[in-house]
A and B are shown apart, each in its own frame.
Chain A
């Protein structure tokens, strides 16, 4: 946080040096940073990749969808492919 502030002060100095337009742009970015920090306030578990922060959506619904999406994204296990091959063999056998 201290580093960020120091960096911010340095940036402000640089901005003043260049132009007032750049200063306005920087101030806007700082405001974004502050808003983001406010949003994240209290979410001390954000390091966990599965953690769902309640930002405007229902975390239970999001978690359920993610559970579903995780299975959907898995590669199809070989057992299933073998089963499909058996079906293919039946189809081919009937044609012959």
Chain B
């Protein structure tokens, strides 16, 4: 076997793996767009983010291990770039400290009925970590393990972020209910700090 034949075979193998990689890129587009849309809440920006992730993935395709989790790898590329952009551009930060404070004392079990558009709007008022985990596990059906891999944190962190994010979302959509008020008072009684007492102020 000559070296020319060897390089020919190697080139053919590369062509095949690139074709497989491209097919995976095509298949992931809808999920990638959905994840990006949930993260930034804007269709155009989300599609730009998804395309950017695809270009980065193509450029770095040699670093992807064939047979490993392609979705997790793509989502990681997208989110890493999202957070880099977020740090550069403070206008993209949609974190609402008031919501964060109230999340701690919310009972999310009370629901009458909700509107999808309200949920989409409320999603953008959460912290990016909560929004991300809700999009991954809640919307895309990603497992806790895969979400932990994508977000680079422990499964326990995923679970707690999910619970808090879900509670915050329910609070934003439904508004506070009687249980929330009761639990707020209980929490305030236990902790008794100035910060907690501020939660007792009537919220308009």
Could you list which residues of chain A lie within 8 angstroms of chain B, going by C-beta atoms? 42-43, 45, 48, 50-54, 58-61, 63-68, 70-72, 74, 76-77, 79-80, 83-84, 87-88, 91, 94-95
A-B contact list, 30 entries, CB within 8 Å: A43-B113, A45-B113, A45-B115, A48-B115, A50-B115, A52-B113, A52-B114, A54-B113, A59-B113, A60-B111, A60-B114, A63-B115, A63-B116, A63-B119, A64-B119, A64-B134, A65-B141, A67-B120, A68-B139, A70-B116, A71-B30, A71-B37, A83-B51, A83-B55, A84-B22, A87-B22, A87-B25, A91-B15, A91-B22, A94-B15
Q: How far is the CB of B1 from chain A (nearest CB, A)?
A: 22
Find A51's partner among B18, B54, B113 (CB 8 Å cutoff).
Answer: B113
Is B34 part of the contact surface with A, judged by Cβ < 8 Å?
yes
Q: A71-B37, A83-B51 are in contact. Are A64 and B29 (CB under 8 A)?
A: no
Q: Is the interface of A mostly helix, strand, loop or mixed?
A: helix
Interface stretch among B165-173, B184-192, B194-202? B165-173
Q: How far is the CB of A33 from chain B (nearest CB, A)?
A: 21
Find B34's partner among A71, A76, A87 (CB 8 Å cutoff).
Answer: A71
Complex CA gap A60/B134 in Å reads 10
| Residues of B close to A60: CB separation below 8 A | 108, 111, 114, 119, 138, 166, 169-170, 173
Find B116's partner among A52, A54, A80, A83 (CB 8 Å cutoff).
Answer: A52
Q: A50-B115, A71-B37, A91-B22 are in contact. Are A76 and B173 (CB under 8 A)?
A: no
Is B140 part of the contact surface with A, judged by Cβ < 8 Å?
yes
Q: How far is the CB of B10 from chain A (nearest CB, A)?
A: 13
A sample of 6 more A-B contacts (CB under 8 A), given A64-B139, A72-B34, is A52-B113, A54-B113, A60-B108, A67-B119, A76-B30, A83-B51
| Contact present for A66 and B37 (CB under 8 Å) | no
Q: How far is the CB of B117 from chain A (nearest CB, A)?
A: 6
Find A76's partner among B29, B111, B135 (CB 8 Å cutoff).
Answer: B29
Complex CA gap A9/B173 in Å reads 43
Q: How far is the CB of B25 from chain A (nearest CB, A)?
A: 7
